[in-house]
Structure 1
Amino acid sequence: MFKDIVLAVTPSEVCEHAADKAFGFAQRFESNLTIVHVTGMEQGWGQMEWLEPSGETARIQKNIEEFYSEKLKGMPNYDIKVVAGIPHNEILRIARQANADLIIMGPHTREHKEKRSKMWGMAGSTLERVSQRARCPVMIVTREAPYGEQRITRLLATSDFSKQAECAVAYGGQLCRHYNAGLTVLHVLEDTHGAADTKLAAEVKGRLQCSCESALRGINNVCYECLEGKPAMEILKFARMRDVDLILMAHHSKEEDPEEAFLGSAVVQVALNSACPTMSVNRHFDLRCGMMYDQSGSVAPVSSKGETTV
């Protein structure tokens, strides 16, 4: 399912959980794995021009290969790229060059992870910028997950009834078909001030089922839920209570202004506080994914590279 994976890391324990997930997927799907490390910013723009001629990037590349040497054994299709520049720009550029169908990232620095979990309003992180602009799904992994076989048995997809959310749910359906997993589609009612009732929740569930029916056709284990409250908090609580293996969300689905979308996005709030990985699908992926129809007129599932899978 994932043939070309980009893993964006710093060679440290902070990104080790993301690295384990990427190695596990690459082994399971026999994927081409590109390991990316962006350097140069700590040395300053004035010194970036000598990083490659001086052999500094080659030294860092060797360090990364040694750091992951045990996990890279028996994995023939991998490449390590060390580049200088602005992290999110370089990660996105390399992902485009590799025609990646999945980007996997960790929090990158312990300080950032701690601050981000406390200050959800902090804007402009590499995670946010990559997950907003990538042309493929972005998986954010911050907690330890079992190494080796990557099983997904319980998947949670969130929906706000936007086109991006429809694409995210459809992609969640593909994962469910591949893993024979169960899927919950969740909508969170905001700003009800406690006024939401059972009738309204039932109406929302019915609307969810109607909007997702075509994309999820043939999946037996699907349920629809409606909760009330702050989206990130309710998603995190639900995922923890149901022991979810993966959360799938549409990134910035309601924001028209890209800069405003950076401010405390629900995707990053969930990703950096979730016990399981979070996968983000954005508007750029939606343009590639679309809703493609088969000859019978029903929605045909599509891959992360825009190819029909029926």
Structure 2
Amino acid sequence: MTSFNDNEYASLIGNLLHDTQYIKISNMGKVSGLRKHAEVMVRKILNIGSDTKIMLGQVRRDSNNAAINSRMEALGEELSNRLIEVVNKINPIGSAGTHTQHTEDFSDGEVEGIEDAILDLYALIFIRYFGDSQISIYYSPKVLHEFSILPPIIRYKTWSYLFKKDKNNIQVVNKLCLSIIKTFNKERAYKWLEDNSEQIKAISYPTESEIKKYIQTGGVEVKPGLYQVSLDFQKYNNIYDLLYDKIKHSKTSINESGKMYKTFEEAINHYNNFKEINIQDDSEEVAIFHSLMEFVYLGRKAKEDL
């Protein structure tokens, strides 16, 4: 069994995006294309190449497909369960869309449900990445910045999942808060902060030495000895107040509710500009992340080119 090859699937992904996102077709045609797109995403997540046949209906426990069983074991029980859950949102409608027994067109709501589930599959790629790389306040600012050049909904889905797993992780809490602002609005971010206030106020605040290390590893040196940071720990003594002021700050209004970009098509030029400035890969971890970003932007067109 070969591994998934991004280049091999680039043309197919481009064609599927063209047919389901960039031209006007019936909802039945969209559902059929979205199902194929979901199947490609499953191949990517499970790292299954084109020499092995898979179908969405086989993504389950004790599958009759040995390749899926093997790769889900490698994925781990928790993420495999999540994959099965998402695929189960897609497959019933997607399967009906490929057979002649279903004669009526699908509703806009049914199409939107599958599209949202495919975004869950995109998020699962990054949930796995961040779960494996042990995100913390010292985590690569380059990776976190690059991740921010994605549709806010994918970031929200990713950080929401990771927050449920670890509600004491400062970086996860910080990024989830920002993703709520950018996906929804500040009002919803304030509500989330208040709903989780007890847990967030209980998060251990970094010590003086930890703050110094964060500034030097997670900050950007703008002048010799002067660093610009995302989390200004020196101004606060608890995470709740830090996040409250971050929501209130004018800087977080720039892309509130996706003002700058909501979709891949609105974000792709920002991503391409980022790539031009950050050509070099300074670690294997960063290089792996670059490859994931390249995959999720495969076949995408800029909004102005549509």
The alignment's TM-score, normalised by the length of structure 1, stands at: 0.30
Whichever of the two has the greater Rg, that structure is 2
More strand by share: 1
More helix by share: 2
